A = this chain, B = another copy of it.
Amino acid sequence: MNEYLPGLAGVPATQSNISDIDGENGILFYRGYPIEELAEYSSFEETSRLLLDGRLPTAAELADFTCQLNENRRIKFHTRGMMKNLPASGHPMEMLQTVVASLGMFYPGSDCLTGGDACRDLDYIHNTTVKIMARLPCIVTMWEHIRNGYDPIEPRTDLGYAENFLYMLNGKEPDPLLAEIMDVCLILHAEHTINASTFAVLVNASTLANPYTVMAAAIGALSGPLHGGANQRVLEMLKEIGTPDKAEEYVDKKLANKEVIWGMGHREYKTKDPRATILQGLMDKFMAARGGDLNPMFEVAKAVEAVCEDRLAKKGVYANVDFYSGLLYSEMGIPADQFTTIFAIARSAGWLAHWREQLSDNRIFRPTQVYTGEPRRSYVPISKR
C-alpha cells in the first residue's frame, strides 16, 4: 500500500521527455534546450514544433508547420453564433473552455484513438494539433470584439503567430518590439512539466477522449485561481501602490503582516525563475525604447522589484514570470481578464505534447482512495429519521 500524499505532492504520475526543471540552479529545459536559448534564438512556432516532436525542425519542416498554422486561422460562423449567445460578463477562460469543447463536434475523427492502447494515426494527431493551436488565439481575440458588441477582425495569413494575435486583437499591425515580446512570452509559457492543468491533460487523455475535450479540461484547470491568473493580480497590486515612492512602505507592510506579494517566488525554483530574468530584460529593453512615453506602472514595478530584491533575495525569493508578464500584456492592449487565456494559448503547445506522449504509452488513470467514511449501515425509512 502506497502512502497517501495530499495533492500527490512528490508522487510521480508520468514518465516524460518533454521538459525538466532544475530548481536549485534555476534552469528550465524544453526537450533538453535551456529556455534562455529558445527565448533568444527560437520562435513560438519553432519551439512548439520542438515540444511536439522532440527535436528542432528543419527549415522545410518549420516552413510547413508555420504555413499550416497560418492557414488554419478561420473560425466557422457557427462558433461566432455560439459566442453571440454567451454573456459578455462571463470570464474569457469559461468562454475558451466552452468553444474548445465544441470544436470536436465540428471536427470529428477521434475514432482512430479507439483502436488500441496507443494511437497510431499520426496524421490525425498532427492535424488536430494544428487546428487547435492555430485557432486558440483567433477564438480569444474574436471574443474580445464580440463581448464588446463588435464584429471580430478577420485573421491574416501573412503574419506570424504572435503578430496575428495582436493584429486580431487591436485591428492594426503591432509594434515590432511588442510582437517580439509577445513571441517570447508565448515561448516562456509553452511548457512547465506537470502542474494541475497538464495533469488534467494526462488524466483526460488517458480515457482516449477526443483532443478538444482534453484541451477543454486543461483550460478548466488553468482557470482556477490557485493556478492561472497571478499576473492579473500583480497588475492590480501595482495600481494599488500607484507611485514608485510608495513601493517600499507597501512591501514592508505586506511582509510584516505575512501577506502575499503577488509575482514573488515560485515553488519550483530556489533561485530566480529563469523566465522572469528573460522578461525583466525585455521589460528594460521596452522601457528604454519607449523613453519618456511610458505607462507609470513600469516605474512602480521597478521600485517594487528593487525593494523585494533587497528584502527577499537572501531567502531565495525573487520575482517570477507573472511579475513582468501582466504589465507587458497591458501595454499590448490586452485586458487583464484575458491574461490567462494567453497563458492557455501558449501552453497549448505543451498540453498537446503531453497529450501525444500520453497516447504513445497509455494507461487509464485510476488511482485509489483511502476510505474514511461510515462503516456499513442499514437504510432507515424516512418516517424514522
Residues of A near any B CB (own CB < 8 A): 1-20, 27, 29, 31-34, 37-38, 40-42, 46, 54, 56-59, 62, 78-79, 81-82, 84-87, 89-91, 93-95, 97-98, 101-102, 104-106, 108, 113-114, 193-197, 199-200, 203-204, 206-210, 212-214, 216-217, 220-227, 361, 363-383, 385
Contact = CB atoms under 8 A, between A and B. Distances in A.
A249 B214 CA distance: 40
11 contacts: A7-B366, A8-B367, A9-B367, A17-B374, A20-B373, A56-B379, A56-B380, A94-B212, A196-B207, A210-B223, A227-B364
Q: Which of A57, A212, A376, A381 has the largest count of B CB atoms less than 10 A from its CB? A: A376
Nearest to A86: B105
A373 B214 contact: no
Nearest to A193: B369
Contacts of A373: 16-20, 31-32, 54
Q: Which of A95, A377, A382 has the largest count of B CB atoms less than 10 A from its CB? A: A382
A223 B209 contact: yes
A75 B19 CA distance: 44
Given A97-B213, A200-B217, A15 B105 contact: no
A374 B18 CA distance: 9
Given A11-B2, A31-B374, A216-B217, A79 B89 contact: no
Pairs A-B, 7 closest by C-beta atoms: A207-B224, A90-B105, A32-B374, A17-B373, A209-B224, A13-B367, A7-B363
Contacts of A365: 7-8, 196, 199
A16 B56 contact: no
Contacts of A223: 207, 209-210, 213
Contact of A59 (B4, B27, B372, B382): B382
A215 to B, nearest CB: 9
How many copies of this chain does one complex carry?
2
Contacts of A34: 376
Given A209-B221, A223-B207, A379-B33, A59 B385 contact: yes
Contacts of A58: 382, 385
Contact of A91 (B90, B105, B368, B374): B105
Contacts of A207: 196-197, 221-227
Q: Which of A16, A46, A379, A380 has the largest count of B CB atoms less than 10 A from its CB? A: A379
Contacts of A208: 224-226
Contacts of A193: 368-369
A11 B3 CA distance: 8
Contacts of A217: 200, 204, 216-217, 220-221
A37 B368 contact: no
Given A33-B378, A58-B385, A4 B9 contact: no
Q: Which of A212, A226, A380 has the largest count of B CB atoms less than 10 A from its CB? A: A226
Contacts of A114: 225
B85 A94 contact: no
A106 B210 CA distance: 26
B89 A78 contact: no
Nearest to A34: B376
Contacts of A10: 1-2, 367-368
Given A86-B82, A216-B97, A13 B20 contact: no
B363 A6 contact: yes
Contact of A7 (B11, B79, B206, B378): B206
